[in-house]
Structure 1
């Protein structure tokens, strides 16, 4: 299992590095824009805090294959270990086919169907990112899409991993991991939900009260 943090917040990344076995960080144009930083500046800062080994993802903006390829090359010039996110469109598939020949690691993003995911895998994507919550919001079923995509990849493209994305709560994350996703990328608030539980805090408070009642302190 690989857990990624979907953010450009340096402080949040440092915080969760202490807690979770982070495999890396994913970004998208919205996340980058919200940071207010130039892409080259942001990616270098993210790499600095992550270290050399964790994966870092950034997405192309162009709509045409030629532009996607040029942008992918530029992003890789900033970070030679970067995984390039390419939307799974007609032009995106064409770009992936070319970038695969250049040895560029790819993630097929903005996936709303199992067929999109399978085609991205055959075009050379190492990761496929189905948008789970957005599928649910469109009256689809994000978890069922992950299940179907996982079955297709096992049969036809076992080298490709599902990196499920677009989560609003930790239940969606757990459901996708049960459904066969090998990786998930979660926003900061959902990462916190995976850890926190009011019931746990309540139990610890009761333990402290019971201990202090007998020993008058919280020391052994």
Structure 2
């Protein structure tokens, strides 16, 4: 499974990269704006934080077809191995189709329905990201949407990849993993929650305490 971080926090990327092989980093305009660092300065810093490896995903800003294509070219030229995120809208589908002709890889984003996501990949996107928690917030079933989209991809576009996104809890991400989702992108706080159960710290401290009492040392 491919695990990505959804963040613009370079320090967090470095911290997590020391303990886990991050496959890639995704950003969006809201995440970049919250971090306060211009995207063109941020992308090389993220690349450095990953040791020059991994796949970066960055989103177009413009609302016009021509503007999104121009954004895509600028992003593609900024760092190597970058995938351009394009919302699946009528204009976005035009952009995905054109960028695919030009050999620029894309991710179909802002996906709230399985059929919408399928259109994004059939237009040419290599990746597609359904918004799990946002679908739930609108009264839908995010995990079910992921399952339906994954089924559609298996039938109609087996060479494309689903990367589930927008999680508010570890349980939401776990449900997508159990479905068989091959890729998920997690906010830093959700990644940390997977390994921050207080019971784990208590168990480790108890092991150390018992060892110390028996052998009067805290190491082998």
Please report the TM-score for the alignment, with normalisation by the length of structure 2: 0.96
Partner SS for 1:84: strand
Give 1:124's aligned residue: 124
1:158-173 matches, cutoff 5 A: 158-173=158-173
Partner SS for 2:128: strand
Partner deviation per Cα, 1:111-164 (whole Å, 9 max, x = no partner) = 000001100110111111100011111111110000000000000001111111
Q: Is the 8 A contact 1:110 1:129 kept in 2?
A: yes
Q: CA RMSD in A?
A: 1.2
How big is the shift at 1:65? Answer: 1.7
Q: Is the 8 A contact 1:146 1:180 kept in 2?
A: no
Tell me, which stretches of 5 or more residues in structure 1 are unaligned? none
| Rounded Cα–Cα distance in structure 2 between residues aligned with 1:137 and 1:78 | 35
| Rounded Cα–Cα distance in structure 1 between residues aligned with 2:44 and 2:21 | 21
How big is the shift at 1:26? Answer: 0.6
Partner deviation per Cα, 1:77-110 (whole Å, 9 max, x = no partner) = 2124210000011110011000000001100001
Give 1:74's aligned residue: 74
How big is the shift at 1:211? Answer: 2.1
Q: Is the 8 A contact 1:161 1:181 kept in 2?
A: no
Partner SS for 2:81: coil
Q: Is the 8 A contact 1:132 1:164 kept in 2?
A: yes
Partner deviation per Cα, 1:23-51 (whole Å, 9 max, x = no partner) = 01111001111222222111121122223
Pairing 1:135–2:123 present: no
Q: Is the 8 A contact 1:6 1:186 kept in 2?
A: yes
Partner SS for 1:153: helix
Q: Is the 8 A contact 2:6 2:188 kept in 1?
A: yes
| Rounded Cα–Cα distance in structure 2 between residues aligned with 1:80 and 1:209 | 49
User: Where in structure 1 do 4 or more consecutive aligned residues deviate above 3 Å?
Assistant: none
Give 2:83's aligned residue: 83
Q: Is the 8 A contact 2:47 2:53 kept in 1?
A: no
Q: Aligned residue pairs: how many?
A: 220
Partner SS for 1:22: coil
1:41-80 matches, cutoff 5 A: 41-80=41-80
Give 1:26's aligned residue: 26
Partner SS for 1:53: coil
| Rounded Cα–Cα distance in structure 1 between residues aligned with 2:85 and 2:30 | 13
Please report the TM-score for the alignment, with normalisation by the length of structure 1: 0.96
| Rounded Cα–Cα distance in structure 1 between residues aligned with 2:219 and 2:179 | 44
| Rounded Cα–Cα distance in structure 2 between residues aligned with 1:8 and 1:112 | 23
